[in-house]
Structures are given as structure tokens and as C-alpha cells.
Amino acid sequence: MTTDPRQADAVDPRFAVLPGRPGKIIAVHLSYASRAEQRGRRPAHPSYFLKPSSSLAASGSSVERPAGTELLAFEGEIALVIGTTARNVACEDAWAHVGWVSAANDFGLYDLRAGDRGSNLRAKGRDGYTPLGPSLVEASSLDPAALRVRTWVNGELVQDDTTAGLIFPLSQIVADLAQHLTLEAGDVILAGTPAGSSVVVPGDVVEVEVDAPDVAGLPTSGRLVTTVTQGDRGFDEALGSLPAADDVQRAEAWGSREAAGLAPAGREDLSPALRAKLEEAPVAGLSQQLRKRGIDNVTIDGVRAMHTEAKVVGRARTLRFVPNREDLFASHGGGYNAQKRAFDDVGEGEVLVIEARGETGSGTLGDILAIRAHARGAAGIVTDGGVRDHAAVAAVGIPVYSAGPHPAVLGRKHVPWDADLTVACGGTTVQPGDIIVGDGDGVVVIPPGLADEIADAALAQEAEDAWIAEQVEAGHPVDGLFPMNAEWKARYLAWRTKS
């Protein structure tokens, strides 16, 4: 059953399908399991961002891709329209506060995401970037666990999922929001998008429909239709940051690296700017910043540097050894095995990370393979196993982190099994494409999507720590200075402003 709650005096077509202009539009960052699998990360709890009501648009409207941008992406979503005020409601009672559901399209301009640091204000808050409609369906007639959302681009079905695939049920989302803020009648919640979201270009027509396929009569929102147009207006550099599209944003916008026409993960080089920052930032500082963000198990433990003065920065390539078994070594240990293939294929600026299970009773490489990696331009080698020909490997000059020297050949403890897959090295997980940074303190693994943020924060902390050290050397006690209280923080900020 559909209903039309529009006020008689509503004249603005953007809000015509709704009870009125909503006070809030709240969107969920990541909520479908299919989308989480596509992105390679599954959140433990829902998180949200706000969209302005001025971004709403009616079915049949157009959405503009601004001049100088390339990554306008659609996201077909279920829109929940609050019917009655909700504040501190139980999960089992939350659905009763939803008045209607409809279709929505949470358009986003990925070229602008980096400057907003997750707020999505400019990327998703632009005029027309939240089309909704064309009809509302009464929520009381629906099972929130049995709704379906589908999206078509130029007539081709590209998204098809149901709320059974949500990581966080709709009732949980409503109840969670209501414990933090008051949901008022007319507020809109966008419940996230499933896998299949991708980039659209001027001329494309995007349609979204929400229905309840298990309900008699198939209640439906109808097809929400939006046409993509090309804008002729760009951005003023004097007013704020300009659009910037990198390969990370391209992969996220298109849905995968392959869809974006990019090389597989792990083979793209670091940008010169990021590499320079990571080469300057100390591993201890990078580890500290990762821990502040709840990522603590990222140090490769039990390995020591052959060249303590060398800094290692690069994308991870991986090699895995399994425990030796004579029949398996006979089939996998000889010839052009996984170990030889990995050393032959490691690229310039990459770090070969070897899983040896912390087994120190055998070598995992020797001088010939070290020479090969060095000739390939590899940035370094990390193994939680032993190294044969230790002095000769050190003389090659390529930075190596290992569990120490051992004279035994590979077959005593290991079978070279496979390469370029997720491995465990020194007690932490390493995936191809992860960023490896090593110095005299050890080796840390940085998720690629956090690298810029972590490097910037580590360098900022390093500058602050250096200033604190100067004050201690000048005779100031550490109490209140390390860490800085409000008075010392004000002094530091004043010094930084002057410098």
C-alpha cells in the first residue's frame, strides 16, 4: 500500500513527495555485507554522516558532474522517513517510528572526498545529489528485514540486494541514532548501498526502486529516475581545495581496481609525496598513530635489521613457506618454485615479506636471492625466518630484516608454497599492497587507505616531541610538559605560529 503524505501547500518539487522539508538527512557509511566484502573492510558498528536537505531532488531530475571532475558515483539506497519522534527507543520498538520507506540515490563525487576526511559534505552534499521518491510506502505494512533495493544504469540491472544482507538491521540503525539525537518527524535516513555502486558519466540514466517482493500486491516506491549531466562550472582555487582523483579514489568509486582499469592491488607505486613523508616519519611514530586509531597489531615482531641505518619504505609483495614435508618438498621445493618466482617478480620500490612461521632453524634466503632482489630494485626484504650467508647478504646492500643467521638450507624446515597472498609474518597479517616501513626500531605494516593520514599525524607528533625535548633540555620538568597540559599546549601553538 502506498500513500502520499504531501502537504497541500508544498510547492518546492524537491520536497514534494515528503511530509515537508526534512530537518535532517542521515546516511550510513557502510551497511551491506556485499559492499563490505567489495571494499575489503567490515565495520563492527554503524557510522554516519549528514547530508543537507538542499541536496534533495525529485524523480525525473538531473544530477550534475562539475567541470574538472571524473568520479561521480551512484548509490541506490532505501530511504527511511521518520513518522513519529524517536529518542532513546529500544531496538524492538524502533521500526514503529518509521513512517514510510522510499527509494533514494546517494550520489557522491569521489574527486572531493580527500579534502573532507570522511564528512562527505562537499562530495555528497551538492544540490541534487540526493534524489528521493517517486512514492512513499507505509512502513507499518512492511517487514524491515525483507525489503529490496535495485538499481539500473541505462536499463541494465547493476544492484540487487535485500535488507537480509544488511550488517546492521534497519531497526538497529534507527535505535542507534535515537540514542544519540532526536529523530523528528520527516527526518530521512539513507540505509546504505549494496555492492554494484560505480561511476556514471554525462548522458547516463540511473533508476532506483525499493519494494517488498514478499508482500501481496508488491508495494513499491516506483522507479526513481535521474539523468547525469555535464556542468560547465569548476572550482575556485582561492576558496578551497580543488578536486583531486587518485587511484585509491578511482578504485572506490568504480567498485574495484579492475573496473577502474587499474593494475591489481600491490603493483601500483607509492606517490612521491607519500613516499617522502614515510621516509621521514619514524616507525615508532607511525606505530603510535596507528594505535590511536585502534590498529595495534601491525608490527612485525622478532625481526632485526641488518643495516640499522637504512630506512625501508614500499608496497608489500608476499611469499609463504609451509612446514617441510618430504613428499611436498619433492613436488614444490625444486625447479622454478614459489621462492624463486617471488624473487624474480618483486618490483622496484617493493618490499618482499616472507612468512616462515617464526622458524629460525633454517634459512629463507641467501646471497644469490638477495642479489636478485637488489637488481630488481626492491626496497627491502622482511622474513621472520633465518638468513643463510648472512655476511654476504649484508654486503649486497639491500635492507633485510630477519630473525637472524642460520646455515641450513631451505628444505630442512620449509617448503616454498605460494606467493602474492595474505601471509602472517612476525605475528601480524600482511597483504599484497600493504605499506611496509622499517627503520632501526623495527617494521610496521600500514593499511594503504590510512597511509597519508598516519604519515601526516606522525610527522606532526615528531615536531611536537622535538619541541618538548628542547624544553626539557632547557631545564623544564616533564610534569605538565610531557604530555603537554593546556598551558604548555598554548605555548607550543604560539611558537609554531611564529615559526
Q: What would the pLDDT profile of 284-323 be if each residue is shown by its tens digit?
A: 999 999 999 999 999 999 999 999 899 999 999 999 999 9
pLDDT one-digit tens code per residue, 34-53: 998 887 778 889 999 999 99
Residue 104 lies in a domain: yes
CATH number at residue 440: 3.50.30.40
Same domain, 222 and 125: yes
- Contact predicate 348/373, CB 8 Å: no
Which of 28, 52, 26, 30 is CA-nearest to residue 187?
A: 26
pLDDT of 251 reads 83
Cα 102 to Cα 93: distance, rounded to the nearest angstrom: 20
Same domain, 279 and 239: no
Residue 167 lies in a domain: yes
Q: Got the DSSP string for 53-119?
A: GGGEE-TTEEEEE-TT---EE--EEEEEEE-S-BSS--HHHHGGGEEEEEEEE--EEGGGHHHHTT-
Residue 57 lies in a domain: yes
pLDDT of 453 reads 92
Same domain, 278 and 249: no
pLDDT of 282 reads 94
Mean pLDDT for 355-359 is 95
Range of lowest pLDDT (42-46, 90-94, 221-225) = 42-46
Same domain, 350 and 383: yes
Q: Which is higher by pLDDT, 334 or 194?
A: 194
Same domain, 407 and 375: yes
How many domains, in total, are found in the chain?
2
- Contact predicate 235/253, CB 8 Å: no
Reported as a pLDDT band with limits 50, 70 and 90, residue 334 is confident
Residue 441 lies in a domain: yes
**pLDDT at 72 > cutoff 90:** yes
pLDDT of 268 reads 64
pLDDT one-digit tens code per residue, 104-149: 999 999 989 877 766 899 999 999 999 999 999 999 999 999 999 9
Last residue of a domain, one of 254, 287, 302: 254
Residue 164 lies in a domain: yes
pLDDT of 487 reads 84
Range of lowest pLDDT (56-65, 75-84, 238-247, 437-446) = 238-247
Same domain, 63 and 206: yes
**pLDDT at 493 > cutoff 90:** no
Looking at every residue in the chain, the average pLDDT score rounds to 91
Last residue of a domain, one of 227, 254, 281: 254
pLDDT of 10 reads 46
> Pseudo-torsion of CA 6, 9, 12, 14, nearest 10°?
-10
pLDDT one-digit tens code per residue, 15-29: 999 999 999 999 999
pLDDT of 9 reads 40
340, amino acid identity: K
Q: Which is higher by pLDDT, 343 or 4?
A: 343
Cα 243 to Cα 71: distance, rounded to the nearest angstrom: 10
Q: Which domain range does residue 352 map to?
A: 272-450
pLDDT one-digit tens code per residue, 445-489: 999 989 999 999 999 888 888 888 888 998 888 888 888 888 888
Cα 278 to Cα 435: distance, rounded to the nearest angstrom: 10
Same domain, 137 and 244: yes
Same domain, 173 and 231: yes
